[in-house]
Amino acid sequence: ARHFMTRASDQASLGAYLDTNEAVTLAQAQAADERIAAGDTAPLLGVPIAHKDIFVTKDFASTAGSKMLDNYRSPFDATVVERLAQAGCVTLGKLNCDEFAMGSANENSAFKPVRNPWDTSRIPGGSSGGSAAAVAARSAPAATGTDTGGSIRQPASFCGITGIKPTYGRASRYGMIAFASSLDQAGVMARTSEDCAMLLSAMCGPDPDRDSTSLDVPAQDFTKSLNESIEGLRIGVPKEFFGEGLSADVRAAIEAALKQYEQLGAKLVDITLPRTQLSIPVYYIIAPAEASSNLSRFDGVKFGHRAKNYSDLTDMYEKTRAEGFGDEVKRRIMIGAYVLSHGYYDAYYLQAQKIRRMIADDFQNAFKQCDVIAGPVAPTVAWKLGEHGSDPLADYLADIFTLPGSLAGLPGMSIPCGFGEAQMPVGMQLLGNYCAEAKLLNTAHKFQ
């Protein structure tokens, strides 16, 4: 733990960490040492991990990257944090992210941007940008992340590390500051799929009393099947993921990786996910709709920021929210309130829900022909800080390959598979059917 704490302070200019507390970390490390001395052989005992600042923690501030929660302390730990602590993990601190996990570049953090360790003039991806940068810069051996529309897979891809988002509902959302509840899912980022498998095994499992959407699927040891043969594995290659818009460097890296899979005995199968394009408008209706509802709790009354000067209650609400939320969060609250409003609900929200179902059906059709799906995570490598300027659409469009899997609630991974333009890492996306995390990790492990 000391090694990683030193690395974290040496690498402070990356902006990956938002809160650390040496005394807390060392006390947890000491407790792990004592369990080891007493003969406990739990595999994760003493393994340091850092948490995305979307997970609430008792011992560190929990800000969700927002001024609204600056210095906020939670009275409890998120289930995921609690489970990893029970398994013996030692918390290194809290990691920077886009405000309320809304973003693709970590430029929406209210505190500071995160820099990509491979080229500090570039973004690390988002919204779990701090998690990806910390793992890539070796200031944490592993980190938790959350993925609503790609926020684990895309930063993992941009920073050259491995990340997995399990099936929606496999990891508890309790204590994850909510963005879009029907999409939000916790996962993990680390160097290898083996590390991810160990950590994910500790994180997942039902939590029926605290998360009503938690799946009733028992915890599983994902390391058991890592070495299974992938001879004859059918890998579906969706033609929509290789159309125009995919940059030549990323395409070349992915095609080379697919060849390598063929050499490992897998069979490539052409598949189609015909509604891929629609996933952008559908996601950017559903996610803001849910966000506008979830974020209504930040009113200055119970917790977080409260405006100093106000004339009455309504004025207090308005000033608190005007001061506490950043531009992207305000934009999404407005879009969300609009698509849910009377007269527009049927035209936008309901329509989006129907297409969401069709996107999920497209995947079920595809899985009749293949066992896993492979393709790019993002159309390009990590772009330069500020390159998308104030154009939110440029960020939204770059989510095209991660959104379909999120809307369907499927498990997905990003594994490093080469380098593209400017020697920046390229990640390959693997998507599996519901609860096929073990198959995904096995497929990834064989490649690594």
Spatial contact of 404 and 363, defined as CB atoms under 8 Å apart: yes
Closest residue to ligand GLN in the complex (CB): 151
Regarding 288 and contact with ligand GLN (CB under 6 A), the answer is: no
380-399 binders of ligand GLN (CB under 6 A): 399
Distances (CA, A) of 69 to 65, 72, 110, 290, 302: 8, 5, 10, 19, 11
* Nearest by Cα to 91 from 156, 22, 37: 22
Q: Which is nearer to ligand GLN, 185 or 442 (CB)?
A: 185
Helix (H, G, I), strand (E, B) or coil at 303: coil
The Cα 211–Cα 331 span in angstroms is 28
Please report how close the Cβ of residue 340 comes to ligand GLN at its closest, in angstroms. Answer: 17
Catalytic residue status for 127: yes
Q: Which of 62, 128, 139, 151 is catalytic?
A: 151
Q: Which is nearer to ligand GLN, 63 or 320 (CB)?
A: 63
Among 65, 117, 129, 150, binds ligand GLN (CB under 6 A): 150
Structure tokens at 440: 């995904």
Regarding 287 and contact with ligand GLN (CB under 6 A), the answer is: yes
Structure tokens at 254: 């992915």
Q: What is the dihedral of CA 20, 22, 24, 28, to 10 degrees?
A: 110
How many beta carbons lie within 10 A of that of residue 254, not counting itself?
25
Among 28, 62, 74, 104, binds ligand GLN (CB under 6 A): 104
Q: Which is nearer to ligand GLN, 150 or 163 (CB)?
A: 150
Regarding 148 and contact with ligand GLN (CB under 6 A), the answer is: yes
Catalytic residue status for 247: no
38-67 binders of ligand GLN (CB under 6 A): none
Spatial contact of 35 and 42, defined as CB atoms under 8 Å apart: yes
Q: How many chain residues bind ligand GLN (CB under 6 A)?
A: 13
Q: Which is nearer to ligand GLN, 99 or 194 (CB)?
A: 99
Q: Which is nearer to ligand GLN, 287 or 438 (CB)?
A: 287
Q: Which is nearer to ligand GLN, 11 or 151 (CB)?
A: 151
Rounded to the nearest 10 degrees, the angle between the axes of helix 351-366 and helix 279-294 is 130
Regarding 147 and contact with ligand GLN (CB under 6 A), the answer is: yes
The Cα 430–Cα 441 span in angstroms is 9
Among 25, 144, 151, 157, binds ligand GLN (CB under 6 A): 151
Regarding 195 and contact with ligand GLN (CB under 6 A), the answer is: no
Catalytic residue status for 214: no
Half-sphere exposure of 334 (CA within 13 A, CB side): 9
The Cα 99–Cα 365 span in angstroms is 36
Regarding 103 and contact with ligand GLN (CB under 6 A), the answer is: yes
Regarding 404 and contact with ligand GLN (CB under 6 A), the answer is: no
Regarding 82 and contact with ligand GLN (CB under 6 A), the answer is: no
Residues 139-156 as b/e (b if ≥16 CB within 10 A, e otherwise) read bbbbbbbbbbbbbbbbbb
Regarding 290 and contact with ligand GLN (CB under 6 A), the answer is: no
Q: Which of 62, 74, 127, 193 is catalytic?
A: 127
* Nearest by Cα to 151 from 165, 166, 140: 165
Catalytic residues: 52, 127, 151
Which spans of this chain sit near ligand GLN (rule: CB under 6 A)?
A: 101-104, 127, 147-151, 179, 287, 399
